[in-house]
Amino acid sequence: MKILLVEDDAALAGAVARALRAENCAVDQAGTGEDARHLGETEGYDACVLDLGLPRGDGISVLAAWRAAGRTLPVLVLTARDGWSDKVAAFKAGADDYLVKPFRVEELVIRLRALVRRAQGGGASRILCGPLSFDPGLGAFERDGLPLKLTGLEWRVLSCLMLNRDAVVPRPHLIERVYEGDAEVDSNSVEVIITRLRRKIAPARIESVRGHGYRLGAGPG
């Protein structure tokens, strides 16, 4: 998953970002409403964790602006405001979930995965492709029924391909979903990850479609 984390408390933002990265998420961070609104309207994210009390534009205004602009990314509001009126205002503005501080990071991760699964039409609990099985809710991959050990970047690439199996995923889209916004992406880095994945997932096959991107299929072809 690629997550936009909007939180002006640097210590809390750092702790949440580390926890999300430990769950194989790519995380872009914003500390003001102004920056959050810009990123949410110009970048692609699987979900957003949004604080309400922000400098230069509060969270409710940011969320309302996204929805008015047609941005449909799932948004989990993370705030110290636990009043009923605050919750009503957040949901009316377009929030998908609401978590009150203090909170357990494990619960935050579970809620985010549930939001992303629903947004991706996740009625089925597992996605299958040849010997591969992916549970978006748990974030777990299996090959031939056994856990598949992946690095963080490998997990992000394979999950993106798995969610779009049998379709060509454009290379720029893959890079956008895998890397964080300020990362310097070497021109060959994606191909290196693809090469490592090919060894791990055979006989499932990742095809390079010249000039377009990559496609995951069930087997050799």
Whether pLDDT at 124 is above 60: no
pLDDT digits (tens, 9 = 90+) for 1-21: 899 999 999 999 999 999 999
Neighbours of 219 (CB within 10 A): 11
* Distances in whole angstroms, Cα of residue 42 to Cα of each of 18, 32, 36, 218: 24, 16, 10, 34
Model's pTM, two decimal places?
0.76
Looking at 75, 94, 119, the residue that finishes a domain is 119
Which whole number is the average pLDDT over 154-181? 88
Give the Cα separation of 136 and 1 in Å (integer): 10
pLDDT digits (tens, 9 = 90+) for 21-30: 998 899 999 9
Q: Where are the alpha helices (DSSP H) in the chain?
A: 10-22, 33-42, 59-68, 84-93, 105-119, 152-163, 171-178, 189-201
CATH code for the domain of 173:
1.10.10.10
Whether pLDDT at 221 is above 60: no
Query: Is 162 in the same domain as 67?
Result: no
- Of 20, 180, 210, the C-alpha closest to 109 is 20
Query: Is 197 in the same domain as 162?
Result: yes
pLDDT digits (tens, 9 = 90+) for 126-140: 889 999 999 877 788
Query: Is 35 in the same domain as 99?
Result: yes
Query: Is 89 in the same domain as 17?
Result: yes
User: What pLDDT does residue 122 have?
Assistant: 57
Query: Is 133 in the same domain as 109?
Result: no
Query: Is 102 in the same domain as 17?
Result: yes
Query: Is 115 in the same domain as 145?
Result: no
- Of 28, 27, 97, 218, the C-alpha closest to 207 is 218
Query: Is 34 in the same domain as 108?
Result: yes
Query: Is 99 in the same domain as 148?
Result: no
**Any idea which residue has 């309207």 for tokens?**
41
Give the Cα separation of 84 and 149 in Å (integer): 43
Query: Is 40 in the same domain as 95?
Result: yes
Mean pLDDT of the chain: 89
Q: What is the DSSP string of 136-201?
A: TTTTEEEETTEEPP--HHHHHHHHHHHHTTTSEEEHHHHHHHHS-TT----TTHHHHHHHHHHHHH
Residue-number span of the structural domain to which 22 is assigned: 2-119
